[in-house]
Chains A and B, each alone.
Chain A
Amino acid sequence: MRRRRLAPVAALAAAALTLAGCGLGSDDSGSGDAKPTVDANAKVTGEVSFQTWALKPKFTSYVEGVIKAFEAKYPGTHVTWLDQPGDGYDKKVLSQASAGQLPDVTNLPPDFALPLAKQDMLLDVAAADPSIKDEYVEGGVQAYQYQGMDGTFGYPWYLNTDIDYWNATKFAAAGLDVKNPPKTFDELLAAAKTMHDKTGGKEYLMSRLPGIGDFTNAGIKILSDDGKKFTFNTPEAAALLDKYRDAYKAGYMPRDILTNEYLGNSKLFTQSKVAWTTGGGNAIQDFQKDNPSLKGKVVPSPALDTPPLYVQGLSVAAKTKNQAAAIALARFVTNAENQAAFAKIVNIFPSTKASAQDPYFSKSDGTPESDAKVLAFQSLAKAKNLQPPVISGATNDFIGQQISLAISGKISSQTALDAAVAKANQLLTQ
C-alpha cells in the first residue's frame, strides 16, 4: 500500500531530475557563444526600433524631433519608437531579453546592461565605433565596461550626480552656518550632533543608512581586481559603520531609517523633517514645488567627499537585424547637439566632451536653482561610479539588511560586514 503511494512521487522526482539534467539553456557565463561581430561599413537604411524609459508624454516632442532629424539625415531609415513606463522597466527588459525580442537600441543603465552583456545580448559598440573614447567623457564610457569582460556595451547618453542640499532655517536654529556646510563625513557627524544637542533632539540632520557608495567614498576596496570577490569587510568599513551606529544610538538620525524606503532622506527633507539630503542638480526645484515653504531656504553645496556618477546609456542589441542603422541611431541620439538640447529641457548633463564648454551648464545666473545646476555640472569632473554594477538587487538588499542590523546594534559591524561579503560572494558565483 505504502509502496504504491510512493511510486508516483518517485516517478515525478526521477522525471524532474532527468529533465533538469537535460540543461535549461545556455551556460550562464555566456562564454560558450562566439562574440557578435560588427560590420562598420554597412549602409544605414531600413527599420530600426528604439526603446526609451518613461520619456512619454513629457519629452515626446523632443524624441520625435530627434527621430525625424535622424530619418532626414539617413533617407530610407524608419525608426519605431517604444517608450516603457517608469515602473517595472527592468521586468519589461528582462521579458524582452528572455524572449529574444530586445529592441535594436535600448536605454539601459549600466547595471541593467551588465547581465545582458554577460549573455552576449549586447553589441560591443567600441568595436564598431572606436571614436567613442574620444567623443564621450571617460566616466561615461567606463560605466559600460565591466571587470572581466572585453568591450563597451553602451553609448553614454546623459549623466547626473548628487550634490548636497541643506535647510537654512534648521541650520540657523541649531546655530550652524549654512554658508559653511559640512564637506566630509566627519564634519557631517559633528554637525548632526550639534543640531541634535542644540534643539533638544527635535531636529535631525542625517537621515539615511550608509551603503556601498559610502564605503567607496571612504577609500574601502569593494571588489578584488579580477572582479571575482568582494573585499569590503575591512576594519575601516567596520569603523565607518560604528560611527553610524553611535550616531543612530545617540538619536542623531530618525529611528525609522531602518525601514525607510529608498529616497527616504529626500522625502524627509521635502517634508522639512531633516536638514540635509543629497539630490541631482534639479532636485531643488522638486523640493520647492512639493513644499513651497522651502523656497529660499534650500542651500546647495558640493557632495561630501567624492560625488557619485549616474549614467544612462543606449545599448545596441547583438541580434539586431539592422546593425548599421542601430549604431547610427545610438550615436545620433547621444551626439553633443542632441544631448545638449535634451539637457536643457530635463536638467541632466551631457556625456559628450564637446558639451563641457557650453556656458548653459558652466555659468550660474545667481539663483539657487542655477547654482545647484552649475555645482552638479562641476562635480561631474571628479564624480565616480561608487557602486560596481556587478552588485545585483538581491546582493544590495542583503548588504543593506546587514548594515541595518549593525546600525541598530543587534550585531557587531564586523560580523555584519563578514556576513554581507560571504553572501555577496555566494550570489556572485551562483
Chain B
Amino acid sequence: MLVIPALTWLLVFNLWPSINTVILSFTNARPIGGGHFVGLKNFETLLHDEQLRWALLNSVIYMVVCLPFLTVLPLLLAVLVEKKLPGITFFRTAFYTPVVASAVVVALIWQWILDDRGLVNGLAEKLGVISGPLPFLSDQWLLLLSAISLTIWKGLGYYMIIYLAALGNVGRELHEAAAVDGAGPFRRFVHITIPGVRGTMILISILISVSALRVFSELFILSGGKGGPGGRDNSVVMLIQQYSQGFEGNLGYASALSIVLFFVTVVPMLVLARLNRRGAEA
C-alpha cells in the first residue's frame, strides 16, 4: 500500500516512456497524425544509415579518448590540490569553475576561441606559428578533437572533486608506513593511492563512458547545430534530435536510434561493472 505512489511515479515517468519508445520504434509515427506498424523497417534502415555509422564512430572515439584522460588527470589534480598549502583553495576553485558554467556558455566561448578568426588562430598567426588559420570548427576531425578537448577541460574539476572525497578515505598511516619503508611519492601513488580509489575510478569510468556516448551540447554548439562538414561530426543524440524535430519528424526512426543508443551505452557499463567485481574478488 505504501509503495503505490512510488510505484505509480516509476511506471508513469520511467517505465512507460521506455516502453513507449520501444513501441514507437516499430512504427512510422509522426508528431501529428499518428502512424502505423512497420515491423523491423526502421531497424533495417538503421543498418544502412551512413550517418549513424559516423555518429557511432564519433561516440566511440569520444569515449575512448575521454576515458583515460578524465580518469587519470582528475586523480593527479586531486592529489595535487589535496595538500594543505596556503592558497590551495584558490586552485581547487579555479579547477572547479568550468563545471559550474553551463555547457552552452562554455561551448560558445570555445567557439569564439577556436573560430578561424578566433583567439587561438589569431595568436598563432601573430606569433608566426601558422601561416593560415587552422580549421578547428570546419574540419571533421579537428572539430571532433575540439569538442573532446572541451569535454575534458570541463570535466576535470567535476571528477577531481569526486577523487578528493575518495582520497580522504585512503589511510594517512599507510602513506606514513610506506614512507618509513623507503617508498617514494611515485611508488606510494601507484601502490597505495590508486588501489585506495579503485572503486571510485571504476565509478568515474562508467560515468565518463555514459556521458561520452551521449554527448550532445559540445558537438552541437561547436558545429553550429549542423554536425560538422557533411554531418560527419554528429553524435547519436544529435541524430535523434535531427530526426525527431519539426512537423515531419520521424518519431519511429528516432525511437529506433534511441534503442541503439541504449544498447551502445549499456555495454561499456556492464564491462566496467564486471571489471570492478573481478578486481574486488581478487
Contact A98 B226 (CB under 8 A): no
Contact B34 A24 (CB under 8 A): yes
CA distance A176 to B229 in the complex (A): 32
Chain A residue contacts of B243, Cβ below 8 A: 394
Closest A-chain residue to B234, C-beta based?
A401
Q: Which of A114, A259, A392 contacts B137 (CB 8 A)?
A: A259
B133 at the binding interface (Cβ < 8 Å) = yes
Contact A259 B228 (CB under 8 A): yes
B253 at the binding interface (Cβ < 8 Å) = yes
Contact B248 A255 (CB under 8 A): no
B90 at the binding interface (Cβ < 8 Å) = no
Q: Which of B213-270 contact A (CB under 8 A)?
A: 223-232, 242-243, 245-250, 252-253
SS class of chain B's interface: helix, strand, loop or mixed? loop
B28 at the binding interface (Cβ < 8 Å) = yes
Q: Which of A11-19, A154-162, A350-358, A364-372 contacts B (4 or more CB under 8 A)?
A: A11-19
Closest A-chain residue to B31, C-beta based?
A94
Closest A-chain residue to B34, C-beta based?
A25
Contact B246 A394 (CB under 8 A): yes
Contact B116 A256 (CB under 8 A): yes
Most buried by A among B30, B223, B227, B232: B30
Given contacts A12-B19, A115-B247, A430-B28, contact A20 B137 (CB under 8 A): no
Closest B-chain residue to A201, C-beta based?
B132
Q: Which of A19, A90, A97, A430 contacts B23 (CB 8 A)?
A: A19
B8 at the binding interface (Cβ < 8 Å) = no
Chain B residue contacts of A25, Cβ below 8 A: 33-35
Contact B32 A408 (CB under 8 A): no
Contact B138 A255 (CB under 8 A): yes
Q: Which of B224, B247, B249, B252 contacts A260 (CB 8 A)?
A: B224
CA distance A420 to B28 in the complex (A): 21
Most buried by B among A19, A98, A395: A19
Q: Which of A361-412 contact B (CB under 8 A)?
A: 392-395, 397-398, 400-402, 404-405, 408, 410-411
Distance in angstroms from B5 CB to nearest chain A CB is 23
Contact A261 B224 (CB under 8 A): yes
Mask for B5-32, Cβ within 8 A of A = 1, else 0?
A: 0000000000000010011101111111
A150 at the binding interface (Cβ < 8 Å) = no
A130 at the binding interface (Cβ < 8 Å) = no
Chain A residue contacts of B133, Cβ below 8 A: 255
Q: Which of A71-79, A116-124, A236-244, A292-300 contacts B (4 or more CB under 8 A)?
A: A116-124
Given contacts A256-B138, A259-B223, A394-B245, contact A402 B230 (CB under 8 A): yes
Mask for A106-150, Cβ within 8 A of B = 1, else 0?
A: 000001101110110100000000000000000000000000000
Contact A28 B138 (CB under 8 A): no
Contact B26 A20 (CB under 8 A): yes
B36 at the binding interface (Cβ < 8 Å) = yes
Mask for A190-222, Cβ within 8 A of B = 1, else 0?
A: 000000000000000000000000000000000
Closest A-chain residue to B35, C-beta based?
A24
Chain B residue contacts of A402, Cβ below 8 A: 230
Given contacts A401-B226, A430-B250, contact A115 B36 (CB under 8 A): no
Q: Which of A24, A98, A116 contacts B27 (CB 8 A)?
A: A24
Contact B229 A30 (CB under 8 A): no
Contact B31 A98 (CB under 8 A): yes
Mask for A238-256, Cβ within 8 A of B = 1, else 0?
A: 0000000000000000111
Q: Chain A: how many interface residues by the 8 Å CB criterion?
A: 53
Contact A116 B32 (CB under 8 A): yes
B143 at the binding interface (Cβ < 8 Å) = yes
A427 at the binding interface (Cβ < 8 Å) = yes
Mask for A248-274, Cβ within 8 A of B = 1, else 0?
A: 000000111011110000000000000
Mask for B154-184, Cβ within 8 A of A = 1, else 0?
A: 0000000000000000000000000000000
Q: Which of B16-68 contact A (CB under 8 A)?
A: 19, 22-24, 26-37, 45, 50-51
Given contacts A392-B246, A402-B230, contact A17 B34 (CB under 8 A): no
Given contacts A21-B37, A394-B249, A430-B253, contact A256 B115 (CB under 8 A): yes
B135 at the binding interface (Cβ < 8 Å) = yes
A41 at the binding interface (Cβ < 8 Å) = no
Distance in angstroms from A28 CB to nearest chain B CB is 5
A27 at the binding interface (Cβ < 8 Å) = yes
Contact A393 B35 (CB under 8 A): no
A57 at the binding interface (Cβ < 8 Å) = no
Q: Which of B22, B34, B242 contacts A23 (CB 8 A)?
A: B34
Chain A residue contacts of B22, Cβ below 8 A: 12-13, 16
Chain A residue contacts of B23, Cβ below 8 A: 16, 19-20
Distance in angstroms from A368 CB to nearest chain B CB is 28
CA distance A19 to B50 in the complex (A): 30
A180 at the binding interface (Cβ < 8 Å) = no
Mask for B67-90, Cβ within 8 A of A = 1, else 0?
A: 000000000000000000000000
CA distance A419 to B54 in the complex (A): 15
Most buried by A among B51, B227, B246: B246
Chain A residue contacts of B140, Cβ below 8 A: 410
Chain B residue contacts of A119, Cβ below 8 A: 32-33
Closest A-chain residue to B15, C-beta based?
A12
Chain A residue contacts of B247, Cβ below 8 A: 90, 93-94, 111-112, 114-116, 392
Contact B34 A393 (CB under 8 A): no
Contact B224 A408 (CB under 8 A): no
Chain B residue contacts of A394, Cβ below 8 A: 242-243, 245-246, 248-250
Chain B residue contacts of A401, Cβ below 8 A: 51, 226-227, 229-232
CA distance A411 to B50 in the complex (A): 14
Chain A residue contacts of B245, Cβ below 8 A: 393-394
9 new A-B contacts at CB < 8 Å, known A30-B33, A119-B32: A21-B37, A23-B36, A116-B32, A258-B138, A258-B229, A404-B229, A405-B232, A410-B229, A410-B230
12 chain-A/chain-B pairs, Cβ below 8 angstroms? A25-B33, A27-B34, A115-B247, A115-B248, A119-B32, A255-B138, A401-B230, A401-B232, A404-B230, A408-B230, A410-B230, A430-B250
8 A-B pairs with least C-beta separation:
A25-B34, A405-B230, A392-B248, A401-B231, A115-B247, A393-B246, A24-B34, A20-B26
